[in-house]
Amino acid sequence: MKMETLKTAGIELPRFGLGTWYLGENARKEIDELEALRTGIEMGVTLFDTAEMYGNGGAERLLGKAIKPYDRSKLQIVSKVYPHNAGRNQIFKSCENSLRRLNTEYLDVYLLHWRGSVPFSETVECMEELKAQGKIRAWGVSNLDTDDMEELESVKNGKNCALNQVLYHLGSRGIEYDLLPWTQRRKMPVMTYCPLAQGGRLRRGLLSSSSVKKTAEKYGASPIQILLAFVLYQENTIAIPRSGSACHVKELVDSLRISLTQEDMVLLSKDFPAPTRKTYLDIV
């Protein structure tokens, strides 16, 4: 299946990829997790998101194994650096460690995982050096709200930020109030993690809602597929759901056939309305 793409900071990224949060943490699950990631590649998925934080590098190692049989030049790999490693003293070592675990020579995008005590100016300067060295093709941020993004934009080369990765799904629409419009005006993609919501009560409520069920019936789809289609309805979004199951990956990729209408969005918004005021970012 051909993936729709977005251009940003000199690179091109698919609007759908696979995340690796919580993967690579249990050796007994490795075979299934490798199969899930490789199933995605066989179905046309080329974008993968990971981080040095995930499983203390375990997710990066797993992803490195998964992509080894494939042409690296046709894949887009995103990883993230801890805030406390995002300064000159540590970021170059952190990047090298991620590259080693992934068994690759470069990252397509390197993200600041969340804001810490290191000044944006220092992190951006180092990110630009990593670009010049060929270690990364582009850089971005994660979990930054609108005021943070405005501050980032004000520092030297801050406008080179390729994307902002934040939590977003039908049950957590806070970014629609100001952050999403801010990025859309700049044609900066928002990469959405947990687009299917976390497990537990909230996810159960989403999957069992009458509006989600009715929309799923309309498209001959599962509620999970409607949650993913909701995220991709928004302009300039990239969805990176996580899955350790090949069967689930197939379901996710199949959801890309669904294009929700404005009428669908009105129905979904009855149960899960868009924000009418500023709310702070959800993190998990």
Of 49, 50, 44, which Cα lies nearest the Cα of 4?
44
User: Cα–Cα distance between 170 and 213 in angstroms, integer?
Assistant: 13
Q: Which residues contact 246 (CB under 8 A, 6 or more apart)?
A: 32, 35, 36, 39
Retrieve residue 231's tokens: 């995220």
Q: Is 54 a catalytic residue?
A: yes
Active-site position among 22, 54, 110, 193: 54
71-74, Cβ contacts within 8 angstroms, sequence gap of 24 or more = 72/104, 74/46
Nearest to 93 by CA among 75, 105, 81: 81
E strand or H helix at 8, and its extent?
Answer: strand 5-8
Task: Mark 65-88 as b/e (b = at least 16 C-beta within 10 Å).
Answer: bbbeeeeeeebbbbbbbbbebbbe
Catalytic residues: 54
